[in-house]
Amino acid sequence: MKVTIDGHEIEVEAGTTILQAARMIGGDVVPPAMCYYSKLKGSGGKCRCCLVEVTKGSDANPTPMPKLVASCVTGCMDGMEVKSKSSDRVTEARKAVTEFLLINHPLDCPVCDQAGECDLQNLSFEHGHANTRFIEEKRTFEPENIGDKIQLHMNRCILCQRCVQVAEQLTDYRVHGVLNRGDHAQISTMVSAAIENEFSGNMIDVCPVGALTDKTFRFKSRVWFNKPFNAHRECTTPGCCGKVTVWMFGNEIQRVTARKDEYHEVEDFICNTCRYDKKEVSDWTIEGPRKFEKDSVINVNNYSRKLEKVIINTERGILMGRDEDRKKISMAAIDYNKKIDGTEVKQ
């Protein structure tokens, strides 16, 4: 069947959603998506970031849809015409959804490990306001320790439920979910029980914000100071593809993640052994630099194209040693449990 999005016509299979059709076209017409994840069954329909305007329902029934629809859960019809980026209504709605998502989200990008690869940061950059209209107190949660590998910051969670779907679809049995509703909704404290599973680390990769981050990488480096390389190993864990991205600082592997595509979705899931236990260069066959889509902040560190040699005479001392570099860009040595005056803080 034929569908037109922002003037681009494309043939799609029956059952294709508007978001999938837009991704086939690519570029600006692709709506942002915070909860849809093509590798997870049942994802989508939660965040409303992907709203589009259907200006013609189908050839059989050309009536426009009166309300904006979530493109990730709305199927294409033959002859359907859709406006995404080209619709002022859609732009306004995306701004409103972004504002809504930021109501309770803390502005801790400067200390958040997700900064630089955060979907909410990207969404805010394009659709956010510089100021907030929210004068009420933000929703906060007591910190919860869920083990030595994954850091949970419930205050940053946008309840997209992707991590719940990882637990449901990749681990043996689901032990966590969304507890309570409305303003009190939160990822259940039972998340700690799911962490033992060999595939639990994938929750980190699917989380669009910094609510679930890698404790073994915590505060080690900003992501744009790392150089990502594709690498693989013969992994014996059943279900693990063994194909990863290793994030290097000099010759040191600081983090291992699954390989992500241009929509920040993993190509294939990896096991915890690959993610946490294989941090030596000798553990991996390094294939070459990982390329990212052009707008990524990680491309600030892009080394896959030929660069002019930069000579920084005035800063010569700064580049003398790796350890000096590390001290300047790492926050690992900072004690976040203490305020500047030395008193303890509740995280």
Residue 163 within binding range of ligand SF4, rule CB under 6 A: yes
The answer to the question of residue 160 lying near ligand SF4 (CB under 6 A) is: yes
Q: Which is nearer to ligand FES, 42 or 143 (CB)?
A: 42
Residue type, 210: G
Q: Which is nearer to ligand FES, 77 or 256 (CB)?
A: 77
Closest to ligand SF4 by CB, 87 vs 155, is 155
Task: Please state the closest distance from residue 308 (CB atom) to ligand SF4, in A.
Answer: 40
Q: Which residues ranging from 87 to 116 are in contact with ligand SF4 (CB under 6 A)?
A: none
The minimum distance between CB 187 and ligand SF4, in angstroms, equals 5
Where is 191: in which H helix or E strand? Answer: helix 191-194
Q: Identify the CA nearest to 272 among candidates 160, 168, 166, 178.
A: 166
Helix (H, G, I), strand (E, B) or coil at 284: coil
Residue 54 to residues 16, 66, 79, 84, Cα–Cα distance (Å)? 15, 8, 11, 9
Q: Which does 120 bind (CB under 5 to 8 A by kind): ligand SF4, ligand FES, none?
A: none
Residues of span 165-224 touching ligand SF4 by CB under 6 A:
187, 206-209, 211-212
158 binding partner (options ligand FES, ligand SF4, none; Cβ < 5 to 8 Å by kind): ligand SF4
Look at residue 194 and give the partner it binds from ligand SF4, ligand FES, none, a contact being a CB closer than 5 to 8 Å depending on partner kind.
Answer: none
> Among ligand SF4, ligand FES, none, what does residue 45 contact (CB within 5–8 Å per kind)?
ligand FES
Q: How many CB atoms lie within 10 A of CB 59?
A: 13
Minimum separation from the CB atom of position 19 to ligand FES (A): 7
The residue count for the chain? 347
By beta-carbon proximity to ligand FES, the closer residue of 51 and 246 is 51
Closest CA to 231 of 262, 256, 250, 214: 256
CA angle 78, 82, 85 (to 5 degrees): 155
Write the DSSP string, 18-50.
HHHHHHHH-GGGSPP-SS--TTSTT--SSS-TT
Reduced to 3 states (helix: H, G, I; strand: E, B; else coil), residue 283 is helix
- The interface with ligand FES within residues 29-88 (CB under 6 A) comprises 33-36, 44-50, 70, 72
Question: Which of 15, 25, 30 has the alpha carbon at shortest distance from 73?
Answer: 15
Residues forming the site for ligand SF4 (CB under 6 A) = 157-163, 187, 206-209, 211-212
Residues forming the site for ligand FES (CB under 6 A) = 33-36, 44-50, 70, 72
